[in-house]
Each structure stands twice: as C-alpha cells, then as structure tokens.
Amino acid sequence: MVPHLVPRWPVCLFQWRAACTLGACVPQSAWAGASRTPGPGSPRGAVGTSPLVRRGGSSSSSRAPEVMLTRERYPVQRLPFSVVSEEDLAAFERITPGRVVTDPEELEASNVDWLRTVRGCSKVLLKPRTTEEVSHILRYCHERNLAVNPQGGNTGMVGGSVPVFDEIILSTALMNQVISFHGVSGILVCQAGCILEELSRYVEERDFIMPLDLGAKGSCHIGGNVATNAGGLRFLRYGSLHGTVLGLEVVLADGTVLNCLTSLRKDNTGYDLKQLFIGSEGTLGVITAVSILCPPKPRAVNVAFLGCPGFAEVLQTFSTCKGMLGEILSAFEFMDAECMQLVGHHLGLISPVQESPFYVLIETSGSRAGHDAEKLSSFLEHVLDFGLVTDGTLATDQRRVKMLWALRERITEALSRDGCVYKYDISLPVERLYDLVSDLRARLGPKAKHVVGYGHLGDGNLHLNVTAEAFSASLLGALEPYVYEWTAGQRGSVSAEHGLGFKKKDVLSYSKPPAALQLMQQLKALLDPKGILNPYKTLPARA
C-alpha cells in the first residue's frame, strides 16, 4: 500500500494516452464473450472456478459439474405446500396452453442460479403472456396451496430467483411487450419480462436512456430489476428505483390484480403501494408491468481512469469531482491494486495508468461535449496539482469508454478465475468504506489468497471479495459473522444492492432492528397469508 508516485504530467497528455495506450493493453478478443464467470457452488457466499457462461440463461452447460441441491446443502425444511399433481398440470395447460414446461432438461436452467450455487427441483415452469394469465395461475395456486417462484432473467446474486424445493416456476420470459412510450416525458410502460438491454435499445432510439444499467442487462428482466430494487452503474446519477419507477401492476398471492400502473410523475392519492413491491424479491406479489421514467440520452459521455496514492485521496477526489463536475457526474467507481493485479493476471488486461494503490473510474454524461470536456480538464488539472491523482487516462469515444469500463466490470470474472470466492456486498459511510478491507486483510493473513475491495464509491457501496484455493470452513468462520458485525458496527447494510434472496436472509438482523423485522413479517402475512410466494426467501424463517 505504499503510494506509487510518478512525475505529474500535463492534462493534454490524456488524449494522447487514450489514443495509444489502451488500444494496445487490452486485446480485443478479451472484451468479447460473457460478462461474468459463474462457477460451482460452495456454501453461502463462496463461488468456485468454471468455464465462461453467459449470465443467466445457458448456465446448464452439460460439461459443468452438477450443482448440489439446495435442500441437501443447506439446513432448510420444506414447508407443507401441496405437491403438483397431474390435475394441476392439466389446469395449467388450460390457463397457459402450450406454455407449461415439464421437460427436465429445459427446467434445469431455471432450477439452478447463474452462479451455480443453489439448485431447486421444480417439476414445472409456466410461461404466461398476460397479466390475466398470471392472475389465473396465482388464484389457482393459492386455492391449491402450491408454492410459486417468480423468475425473471435468473441473474440474481443471492439465490432469490430459483426454487429451493419444488416450487412452480412462474417465468416472465414471454411477458416482453412495450405497452407505451411517451416521447415528451420519457415515460416507458412495459411488461415485466422485457429484457433491460432491449428496453435500453428501444428508448435510446427515441433519444432517452433507461435510468438503470447493470452488467447483467443482456439477460435480466425489468420486472426482476424492480423486484430486487437493482442498483447498478447509473444509481449515482439517476437514483433508486423507488424514485424512478412511477407505477407498477402487481398480481397478489390470491390472484388479485393491483393496477397502480400510472404514468404520472406525481400522485399523492393515498399510500404509495407500489413501493411495497420494489425490492421485496417476489415475496409480496408478482410484478407484471412497470412504468418507469427515462432520462434524456446524454449527447456526450466521457470516462476518466485515474490512479490515486491512497484511499484518503480517493475520497478527496470524490468530493472535488462532485463540486467541479457537478451535474454531469454519472459514475464514480473505485478498485484497489489487488483488483488490477487480478484482471491483469487472469484476463490479460493491462492497467492503462501507472501502478497505484487505488484506481478510480469517473464517468460524465452531459448534453454538450465541449462543456463537459472543459469541466473534466479543469477537474483533472486540479486533482493532479493537489496530488490527489498521480496518473490517468481519458476516453471519449464509445469503444474506449467500454474498454475502461471493462477494467472495473470484469473484476468479478477475474475473481472467479482466482479460486473459491467469498462475496460480500456492503454499504458503509464512505470514509470507512475501505477500512473493512484493510481490517479483513490483516485478520485473515495467509488464510486468504486475495482480499479485494472495489465498487460504487459514489453510492457508498463496497464489493468485498475474498479468494482462496478451495472452500475452507475455517476461512468462512474467520469471515462470518466478522464482516456482518463490522458492518453493523458502522450502521452499514449487509446487502447494499444484491438483496437477501435465499442465501442472505438470515443476516437481515445485522442491518434492521427487531421492530422492523416484525413489521416485515406482518406485511408478508398480510399480503401472502399462505406464504406461497417465493418461500424461503428474503425473511428469516419464523421461530
């Protein structure tokens, strides 16, 4: 962690470096293919090594080793739901004719999560096309006491999107129609199964962008994004889905359709019910349609990749950049030196800047390229003059912007090639963000291969990852509950953006007091009295 100081160089060099350094350092071939590397599962947060697969979808490669059944790996008891009968299948065939999947091979991809850490044994997957079909399915399941696992793109990180036992999988895959788009207000209304990347393309053709962007955009469904309150890369600028989602249509556990699908920016008529379902991970209702506010498409996007001599300088760079870049700042990401070593070692990516203890990626999005460039230049000059940044490079065209982003986005992939990975997604006050990484590194010593920290610094969101050659109960014991207790000590969140799903439901109490937990249980009981919706997820089992 000794700062690597290099002589300061003038801002005008940025353009030159952008033009020649990056093109050489990152082989074009390395940018293609999957954005994530799921591997065979290990208990709780641990993920192992495996060949590249596309996130979501095709995770059932025949060469991949079989994933252990969740019910065998974890201490979980099946609740007394009914078991799907031949009569049930016949009823489903009447509701969704030709769209009742029972073929085991086809079911496999929906029974296993993309990280290949959890595996259910559902015998049936339904593909409704309309809200009415979802309503019929849930009314039927509610009457029959059949458990249901709503599933979007199956790209979640916490095992929330696949069954734990034999829950019926209710897929939104065929609910993929845009309902309306308003060219003045930028309000998009669409079915829940629309894929985020396709929606992005749709609104970009109309000069808007989606208010969220994720690594999993090629597979994830907007309904799943809303159900998990996805954060991602545009959060710093456009904020939470609690602010940008304007309306939802939701089918409740008993089949009641709750139509709050308004296309209004303001509506103070009664309680804002849609908020209940944002981030409730399909446990309170099934989202069938979404109304969302899209910001105008920025005309200029720039990315700066900078080296910082210490974490204090990363923080000062953040403060400076908030002031000097102001309204055009759209992302502020950071990664530590070990992250860069890993993307170098496993993916062959070479740092575009001098070796540094920390790296920062800053993105600006604005309506006038010249103005944005001037703001960025002044900012870069300032941070260099004050020694907050020791080296940097700038990208303005789309290809190079993507290359710089890949250094940050492909860390997950590099980590999973490094061995067994223990993953934590933590919110902390920014000034303490990296202390957890340093403390953990000291605590673990040679037990861990790597302890790395990176993430959305602008949002106070740390992705803390620990790698080892293989799964070790003693390493896990050194990690947990230490990481959760450390986070709770700072009033942080033990799940910043990934949610709780199946794998993290038992750590909820580190971030929420008993009174909150009790109210959540009461809400679940009110909205889903039989508990058929996504059981074993989000909330800990009641004592």
Of residues 520 through 539, those in contact with its own copies by CB under 8 A are: 520, 522-523, 526-527, 538-539
Q: Determine how β-strand 168-171 pairs with β-strand 125-126.
A: parallel
In whole angstroms, the minimum distance from the beta carbon of 115 to its own copies comes to 17
> What residues form DSSP beta bridges with 423?
465
In whole angstroms, the minimum distance from the beta carbon of 14 to its own copies comes to 19
Give whichever of 201 and 491 is closer to its own copies, judged by the CB atom: 491
The yes or no reply on residue 481 touching its own copies (CB under 8 A) is no
How many Cα atoms are found within 13 Å in the side-chain-facing hemisphere of 252?
Answer: 17
Of these, 511, 532, 534, 535, which contacts its own copies (CB under 8 A)? 511
Secondary structure of 297-311 as H, E, C letters: CCCEEEEEEEEECCH
The yes or no reply on residue 371 touching its own copies (CB under 8 A) is yes
Of these, 307, 499, 531, 535, which contacts its own copies (CB under 8 A)? 499
d(CA 138, CA 153): 20
Number of H-type helices and E-type strands within the chain: 20, 17
Of these, 374, 381, 397, 469, which contacts its own copies (CB under 8 A)? 374
In whole angstroms, the minimum distance from the beta carbon of 315 to its own copies comes to 6
Of these, 105, 515, 542, 543, which contacts its own copies (CB under 8 A)? 515
In whole angstroms, the minimum distance from the beta carbon of 66 to its own copies comes to 30
In whole angstroms, the minimum distance from the beta carbon of 244 to its own copies comes to 7
Give whichever of 107 and 236 is closer to its own copies, judged by the CB atom: 236
Whole-number Cα distances in Å, 20 to 24, 26, 136, 299, 521: 7, 11, 59, 24, 57
Give whichever of 37 and 365 is closer to its own copies, judged by the CB atom: 365
φ/ψ of residue 456, rounded to 5 = -90, 80
Of these, 492, 528, 531, 532, which contacts its own copies (CB under 8 A)? 492
Give whichever of 280 and 393 is closer to its own copies, judged by the CB atom: 280
Of these, 167, 497, 531, 532, which contacts its own copies (CB under 8 A)? 497
Give whichever of 138 and 340 is closer to its own copies, judged by the CB atom: 138
Q: What is the DSSP secondary-structure string of 190-225?
A: EETT-BHHHHHHHHHTTTB--S---TTTTT-BHHHH
Helical axes 435-444 vs 482-489, angle rounded to 10°: 150
Give whichever of 26 and 433 is closer to its own copies, judged by the CB atom: 433
> What residues form DSSP beta bridges with 454?
335, 463
Give whichever of 42 and 495 is closer to its own copies, judged by the CB atom: 495
In whole angstroms, the minimum distance from the beta carbon of 280 to its own copies comes to 5
Of these, 40, 224, 231, 307, which contacts its own copies (CB under 8 A)? 231
In whole angstroms, the minimum distance from the beta carbon of 86 to its own copies comes to 33
The yes or no reply on residue 139 touching its own copies (CB under 8 A) is no
| 250 three-class SS | strand
Instruction: Report yes or no: 24 and 32 within 8 Å, Cβ to Cβ.
Output: no
φ/ψ of residue 23, rounded to 5 = -55, -35
For the segment 313-342, give every residue that binds its own copies (CB under 8 A). 315, 318-319, 322-328
Query: Which one of the spans 12-20, 36-44, 124-132, 510-518 is the region binding its own copies (CB under 8 A)?
Result: 510-518
For the segment 379-438, give every residue that binds its own copies (CB under 8 A). 427-431
Helical axes 369-385 vs 311-325, angle rounded to 10°: 150
The yes or no reply on residue 242 touching its own copies (CB under 8 A) is yes
| Residues in CB range of 502: below 8 A, 6 or more apart | 70, 74, 118, 158, 159, 160, 164, 536, 537
| 351 three-class SS | coil
d(CA 56, CA 59): 6
| Residues in CB range of 527: below 8 A, 6 or more apart | 252, 253, 276, 284, 285
Show the binding pattern over residues 255-294: x = contacts its own copies (CB under 8 A), - = does not: -xxxxx-xxxxxxxxxxxx-xx-xxx---x----------
Helices (H), 32-126: 70-73, 86-95, 104-111
d(CA 272, CA 241): 14
The yes or no reply on residue 225 touching its own copies (CB under 8 A) is no
Give whichever of 350 and 488 is closer to its own copies, judged by the CB atom: 488
Query: Which one of the spans 38-46, 212-220, 238-246, 402-410 is the region binding its own copies (CB under 8 A)?
Result: 238-246
Of these, 243, 348, 477, 481, which contacts its own copies (CB under 8 A)? 243
For the segment 163-222, give every residue that binds its own copies (CB under 8 A). 182-185, 207
Instruction: Report yes or no: 211 and 199 within 8 Å, Cβ to Cβ.
Output: no
Of these, 86, 446, 513, 542, which contacts its own copies (CB under 8 A)? 513
| Residues in CB range of 258: below 8 A, 6 or more apart | 248, 249, 250, 251, 252, 273, 285
Query: Which one of the spans 83-91, 227-235, 304-312, 415-423 is the region binding its own copies (CB under 8 A)?
Result: 227-235
Beta strand ranges found along 120-271 (DSSP E): 125-126, 148-151, 168-171, 178-182, 187-191, 245-251, 257-260
The yes or no reply on residue 373 touching its own copies (CB under 8 A) is no
Using alpha carbons, select from 391, 308, 312 the residue that is nearest to residue 357. Answer: 308
The yes or no reply on residue 519 touching its own copies (CB under 8 A) is yes
d(CA 487, CA 525): 29
Of these, 366, 392, 419, 535, which contacts its own copies (CB under 8 A)? 366
For the segment 48-67, give every residue that binds its own copies (CB under 8 A). none
Give whichever of 315 and 407 is closer to its own copies, judged by the CB atom: 315
In whole angstroms, the minimum distance from the beta carbon of 110 to its own copies comes to 23
